[in-house]
Amino acid sequence: MSYAELCVTSNFTFLTGASHPEELVLRAAELGLSAIAITDRNTLAGVVRAYSALKTLRAEAEGDLRIRSTHQIDPCSRQETGEPRDLARPEGVVLPRLIVGTRLVLRDCAVEWLALPTDRAAYQRLSRLLTLGKRRAGKAECHLDLADLERGCQGMLLIALPPPDLAQARAPIQRLVRCYPGAVFLGAAPRYDGSDQGWFNACAQLALRTSAPMVAVGDVLMHHGARRQLADVLTCLRAG
């Protein structure tokens, strides 16, 4: 059974993601995922890097081209620190599809939304939505409301990431389901806190009530467990 990761946070989400989009794409190829969506917080910036990495990867699969991520790059200074290392290249590898997307964090709503445009027009609408939000706010911020999503999300798949208190999630999901029937899903990410079974049960119930089908997401922050220390340090910096 193939799996597509739909919720990936790269380092284009400031002080949250601990891996570059290239690394994430490469890892997805190694793991044999069918698709990967780079969804950074209120931005599409990471997608470009992921796309170019995927393009290089494809060229490499055909010819003998080396992509950047095989270089040993110091994650802080982004300088090469050693000789390029060749990765073991399995034969007949299936490269993942790249899904363009973003994670919309709203001002007036505890639910976070993964917006995945399905066509070019939807991509334009998403870009416009982000521009609108960034114009409202100062630097590095984006002020969007649920009402903006209700107006300008035609043609996108919306995946709701509910907060720990599921009761807050019901009303916003219902509002968007009414606007975009069939395009709203409920993302259930494991939390590894010992109560995942109960959490998934509650999510399933919510999905049933709001008629937003459940989707499995991983809420990825890093491409490899070795990045955990970096992720911890970033969390410390963010939380102060």
Partner 1 sequence: MCMWFPRLACDRVLKARPVEAPFALTLTDKNAERIYCLNAQAETLGLHRGMSFADARAFCPNLLSQPARPDLDARFLGALRRWATRYCPWVGREGEDGLVLDVTGSTHLWGGEAAMLDDMRARAERSGLTLRLGLGDTRGAAWALAHYGQTTGVLDALPVAALRLEAEVVTGLQRLGLRSIGDLKATARAPLARRFGPGVLLRLDQALGDVPEAISPGAEPPHYGVRLSFPDPIGLLPDVMSATERLLAPLCDKLKAQGAGARTLVLTLRRVDQGSQQVELRLASAMRDAGRILPLFERGLGDIDAGYGIDVMRLEATVVEALPVQQIGLSAQVQPDQLNDLITRIGTRIGLENVQRFLPADSHIPERSFIVAPAAFSAAESGWHSHRPRPLRLFPPEAISAEGARPPERFRWRRMSLTTGRATGPERIAPEWWLEDDSWRSGLRDYWKVETREGRRLWLFYTPQNPGWFVQGEFI
Interface residue list for partner 1 (CB under 8 A): 192-197, 225, 228-229, 232
Of the pair 9, 43, the CB lying nearest partner 1 is at 9
Of 94 and 233, nearer to partner 1 (C-beta) is 233
Q: Supply φ then ψ for residue 238, to 5 degrees.
A: -70, -45
Min dist CB 78 to partner 1, Å, is: 23
Distances (CA, A) of 235 to 129, 229, 230: 28, 10, 9
Q: Token digits for 91?
A: 């034969």
Minimum separation from the CB atom of position 100 to partner 1 (A): 31
Smallest distance from partner 1 to CB 34, Å: 22
Beta-carbon contacts of 53 under 8 Å, excluding residues fewer than 6 positions away, are 21, 22, 25, 26, 67, 68, 69
We find the least distance from the C-beta atom of residue 19 to partner 1, in angstroms, to be 17
Cβ-based nearer residue to partner 1, 119 or 196: 196
57 sits in which H/E element = helix 45-62
The SS3 assignment for 154 reads coil
For partner 1, the closer of residues 141 and 196 by Cβ is 196
